[in-house]
Structure 1
Amino acid sequence: MATMRAGPATALYLATIPKPTAQEGEAIVRVKAFGLNRMDLLQREGYYPVPPQAPKTLGVEFSGIIENLGEGCKDGFKEGDEVFGLAYGGAYAEYIAANTHMLLKKPSHLSWVEAAGIPETWITATQALHLIGEMAPGKTVLWHAGASSVSISGIQLSKAAGASAIYATAGSQEKLDFCVNELGATQAFNYKTQDWAKEILAVTDGKGVDIVIDFVGANYFQGNLDVAARDGHIVTLASLSGTKLPAGVDIGAFVRKRLRYEGSSLRSRDPEYQGRLRDKLETYIEKFNNGTFNLFVEKVFPWEHIVEAHQFMEADVSKGKIICTIG
């Protein structure tokens, strides 16, 4: 089983720890694959606020086979079911204990690798766009870090929800082209070479966008205020550039445009809240088969190469999920 010491990727190691046992409402799942997420890097370094119920082992999304069920499981699962799902932690392991209301049955059209890369990113994007951003047909949306796994999901969700325009930012021409040509974004802007806020205001005739989904934090705070439309919602999911705002930030847009700026974290939510999002994800499953939604897996590693997998994520060159397989 994979666990960690706080520090760089080389601090990760495989260790033998007790096999989890199913508590009430939980299933023990034999893990076939698990997905990597940016939060894993922060947790590894000791900077992520881990929920008290989470084990020390990393990982929140996985696919696998139910080995046994605890008392009180009411979600229709049985031993031997092929599933994928979300957990508070512990997915970097051969076995995981997971609440059955956070599991979904794996359809035959999804591989173990594909299924392991769905839960965290698609649920996070759904939460940001629909529950917090209050998406409605005709609204416009900006997804920062457009080639990140959450934004890859989010751009597709925005299109399916009837967005009138979808914008994205990214740091290379390859990623910009990917956002537009592969995902369906209306336009994408290079944050390294362009003033993305001015560009978006120009193409929207000064109106801006209704919903902004941000992961960058401090460095984008002013730009987000500038580019948000009247009555716009700015949803912040991370602060990769830091949390301390630079001097001179003008917050006048909050009142002038009647903006709402809201932060959120999925992992800190209770099972009932997460379960509602899981139920929403279940309504998408057929869309992964009919071509409405596409899954993008950048690279697959055997879990024994978890150090290399983390280093690959840190290099920030991927356009999709990084997955590890077990067995």
Structure 2
Amino acid sequence: MGLGLLIVVGALVVNASPSDPLDLAAQRIATLPADPPGTNNDTHYLVSNERRLDLFFDRLPVTRGGVLIGVGAEQLLILAGWTRPDLVVALDFDPVIVDLHRVHAALLRHAEDPDAFVALWADEGRAAEVLAADGALARVTAVHRLAARVVSTRLVELHERPWRGKTPRAGPKTFLTDLGQYDIVRSLAKSGRLVAIQGDLTGDVTLPALAAALRDHDLLVRTLYLSNAEQYFMYGDGYRRNLLALPMDDRTVILRTLPGRPRDFEYLSQRGPHFQGWLQRPRVRSVYAIRGLAKGAHLVGETAHRLGPPPK
């Protein structure tokens, strides 16, 4: 998975009102300068392998609205349906994933319900027509061709049996099983408030510009979804600076995953100020120091944990 985030507006801004502060913010974010693309050995994480996102459901912000920032693929659409943000910012250092989110946004705008969205992803010809009508660049249409099979398979899975080890109707509903949630996600796409941009969590360009844009428009990060990105790097000066600059309050929730045994991930939640407190300690060099483990212990997959503030 990439080290980036996504914003869902991208090059496809729809019906943006210049007088609406949220639209102004979305337009500015969609045109932020980009960090250089990361090295991914030609591997693109087109779908998530986190199969128990339902373990986050009880840890989500109580307050709706604000900004959802996150890395990953379809996870952001699930989280958007649950958290009802005013703006979704998806960022990734892989330009293919940035364009994948632009495909999601375009198809959402044209599909009136979950069944139509799933069907449109699977229909290469019809999807190409929709993307062309939406003004998508050729490279965005090419990403749909690249991703159609694997994304369609994943969407069908989410539609029919979203949570591994549970019956189809067990656990929280998602934007693919609840029309109300789907309407929320679709509305974000139609209003240009589902924005995708290229950036690196540890970079020097995009995240500082994003933090400045959010502060200038008086927007708070309500949910920050990091997936398992932090397992791939130590906490350097750039990452600390970038995450400390993001505007958060006591109701901000950080969501992250770390690989666990025998499979899948641990699902970790934390209050935003608590995470920023850890980042202010130079000796804390990685997410594993925040997670904490007794000697000889290991991470256990498909479990949920709340992480607290740094010790006094």
TM-score by length of 2: 0.25
Higher helix proportion, which one? 2
Which one has a bigger Cα radius of gyration? 1
TM-score by length of 1: 0.24
Which has the bigger relative contact order, CA under 8 A and spacing at least 6? 2
